[in-house]
Chain A
Amino acid sequence: MTAKPTLPNLFFGFMKVGCMAFGGAQAVARRVMVEERHWLSERDYAELLALAHVLPGPNVGNFAVMFGRREYGLAGAATCVAGFFGLPLCLLVGLVSLYGYVGQYAQVNAAMHGVAAAAAGLVLGTALRMGTRLKPPPEAIGLALAVLLASTVFKVPLLLIVAVGAPVGVFAALRRARARTAAPAPPPDRRTPPTDALKRPGDA
């Protein structure tokens, strides 16, 4: 039940994501693309975002390039990137020029502190929402928690987390997929909904 966006759709969709991204774009990106406009399924979104995460650079920026290319090639990638970064960049340059001035108002700072606290909740809530909707198998939940702890509690450098976590995750998913292929016949087309390696064999 996904709908293919047109180029202007992509531009304005990513512009919305960019302009509503407070403290990170992931929460809004998922909301706009999966729940509002149905450009991708929850699973497609999660897989493309995961790839964007293991690459260096801005996560949703990488996502914009890859999703844009998938839909309309170079024109699509350029449209998504321009939509995503253009307006916020202009806005920020304007704000820097004004900052000395706005920053003096205590009310602006107070509101911004509240926004920052809520923005953290947006990101946490998005992770939980994706997690509960995707219903990952136990070993995937374990890996996600291990990554979370490694990053926050043990302060492991991100490069190392990706270097270890990515092969572990891929290995576990491939093993699960193979175990499933061995039992019942797998769905033929990769676009058919239940081709997901993350789902337990029983709940499809």
Chain B
Amino acid sequence: MPLWLDMFLLFASLSLVAVGGANVLAPEMHRQLVDIRHLMDEATFSQLLALAQAAPGPNILSGSIMGYWIGGVPGLLGATLGLLGPTALLAWLIAGLTKRLAHAPWLRPAQAGLVPLALGLVGASGLVMAQAAASFPLAPVITGLATLYVWLAPLNPLWALLAGGLLGLVLL
């Protein structure tokens, strides 16, 4: 099997069960790439994951750069298409379905019923990130201040990131 196809199939199978997005992807990716297939060692995996999370961009791209690390450009393309293609197709089909059902009186309440689920999951991923980021004593304070800022101030959230970066530079 050509490498790109191998990567495509591997990452497509990972992405299609990743309900909840990139946060769920990481443990399963680790199991496949490091434990089962020995495509990279533990240290490389952690470094690439940390890099993808620190760099700007959707976290799912951590899979893309793992593919790039393993197989250069063909690995990158195979992994990215695998991560994004099948799930995008699914989202496309669901969007079509909701469009067709737009006039069904139950659709909108039903969709609204999923909102608490999304709120809970967004909150949970925030807490998981906070825990992972608590690598120095003042980290929870930075997290708490950023939370209050985004919650209460109608200003650009990126100021909080900039402040966090500067505090990290000063404190560490």
Contact = CB atoms under 8 A, between A and B. Distances in A.
B24 interface: yes
Contacts of A195: 108
A89 B80 contact: yes
A170 B110 contact: yes
B76 to A, nearest CB: 7
B121 to A, nearest CB: 6
Interface residues of B, number: 101
A91 interface: yes
A148 B61 contact: no
Contact of A198 (B51, B60, B112, B151): B112
Interface string A53-70: 111111111100110011
A115 B165 contact: yes
Interface in A75-130: 77, 81, 84-85, 87-89, 91-93, 95-96, 99, 103, 106-107, 109-130
A120 B126 contact: yes
B122 A55 contact: no
Given A85-B84, A118-B143, A96 B65 contact: yes
Interface residues of A, number: 105
Given A69-B92, A118-B146, A58 B22 contact: yes
Nearest to A171: B113
Contacts of A161: 117, 121
A34 B126 CA distance: 20
A146 B57 CA distance: 30
User: Which of B69, B95, B99, B118 has the largest count of A CB atoms less than 10 A from its CB?
Assistant: B118
B36 interface: no
Given A93-B76, A117-B164, A177-B109, A124 B19 contact: no
Interface string B90-123: 1110111011001100111111111111111111
A85 B61 contact: yes
6 contacts: A21-B56, A24-B125, A56-B18, A61-B88, A127-B119, A129-B150
Interface of B: 15-24, 47-48, 51-61, 64-65, 68-69, 76, 80, 83-84, 86-88, 90-92, 94-96, 98-99, 102-103, 106-130, 132-136, 139-140, 142-151, 154, 156-158, 160-161, 163-169, 171-172
Interface of A: 18-28, 31, 35, 43, 46-47, 49-62, 65-66, 69-70, 77, 81, 84-85, 87-89, 91-93, 95-96, 99, 103, 106-107, 109-132, 134, 136, 140-141, 143-148, 151-152, 158-159, 161-162, 165-166, 169-174, 176-177, 190, 195-198
